[in-house]
Amino acid sequence: MDYLSDKVVAVTGSSGFIGKRLINALTGSVKQLILVVRNADQETIHKQILFDLIHNNIPQDFFSGVDIVYHLAGCAHDTSRIKDKDYYYKLNVEATINLARLALKNKVKKFIFVSSVKAAGKNSTDKYMSESDRSSPEDWYGVTKYEAEKKLLRLAKNTKMDVVIIRPTLVYGPDVKGNLRSMLSAIQKGWFPPLSKKIKNSRSMVHVDDLVRALIFLVKDDRTSGEIFIVSDGIDYSTRDVYEIMCSISNVKIPRWSIPSSFFKILARINSNLKIKVEKLLDTEKYSSEKLKLLGFKPKKTLKDMNETSY
């Protein structure tokens, strides 16, 4: 019998980019799926619990009968709310710990928390950052994700509930949002300038399907309790690499001319609103998923599969 076939699994953030794929992957493989959602989905076949993680008081029997909790809900890395410390803290820290306490009370066996590599701080060097490395987080998103991790591991210590923390790198895939979606859309419309091949930055990324596979893989392995795992596809992408791949999958011809990185840096100095976007475009962020690899996990997709999904 498969490990998950007799398990009741609850998922928060099930309507999100990653959550939708996780639900599709788990459907038919578990005894029951319970979706913790803010707004009801009229088309789903699964049990739903309507709940607002910030404003509502959580019922004490919230996770009654649940074996595994996947906690994906949280405040996204949205720079427009970068100064809203209280919002980040309530959703990323307080809601996470409140859910974990109820999971403990209801004898949940495993609590899987999807955090972020941003919890470890910004890595702008050419060295890979591992789960044990740490620098200063660049914003409240990273600060609160790290705080949630610490409190969660402390809460579960010396209990029977296994806690596993996942730190995804930059996630790509069909219907991706954020900066990758903006870049892809601009390329398809012919608005995005051709980047220079001399741009040699490096960024770790992962396909949403491989992240989902990792989430399922880790819940089945007892060696993962109390551990943190970075998830990536193991490939280093420069911004030029990303540009060329996006052009290829969009059937957009790459111009022979290009714009040097110095042009974007000048823009960042002139316009402070563009500074963060330019930094994201040109910075290096390398993370090692060797720890996960040593358990036997192997990613199956690369950025060339950005428009494809198995889920």
208-219 vs 17-26: helix crossing angle, rounded to 10: 50
pLDDT digits 0-9 by tens, 139-155: 888 999 999 999 999 99
The residue with greater pLDDT, 111 or 269, is 111
pLDDT at position 83 over 70 = no
212 pLDDT tier (thresholds 50, 70, 90) = very high
Number of Cβ within 10 Å of residue 197's Cβ equals 12
Say if residues 238 and 303 touch (Cβ distance below 8 Å).
no
What is the residue-averaged pLDDT of the chain?
Answer: 91
Rounded Cα gap, residues 97 and 78, in angstroms: 22
Q: Are strands 203-207 and 236-237 parallel, antiparallel or unpaired?
A: antiparallel
In the chain, domain spans? 8-172+205-233+287-305, 178-200+238-282
Nearest C-alpha neighbor of 206 from the set 133, 139, 293: 293
Name 229's Cβ contacts closer than 8 Å, sequence gap at least 6. 131, 164, 165, 166, 167, 214, 218, 289, 291, 292
Give dist(CA 178, CA 182) in Å, integer: 6
Confidence grade of residue 300 (pLDDT, cut at 50, 70, 90): very high
Q: Confidence class of residue 135 from pLDDT cuts 50, 70 and 90?
A: confident
Q: Considering the domain 8-172+205-233+287-305 in this protein, what is its CATH number? A: 3.40.50.720
Question: What mean pLDDT is predicted for residues 189-212?
Answer: 94
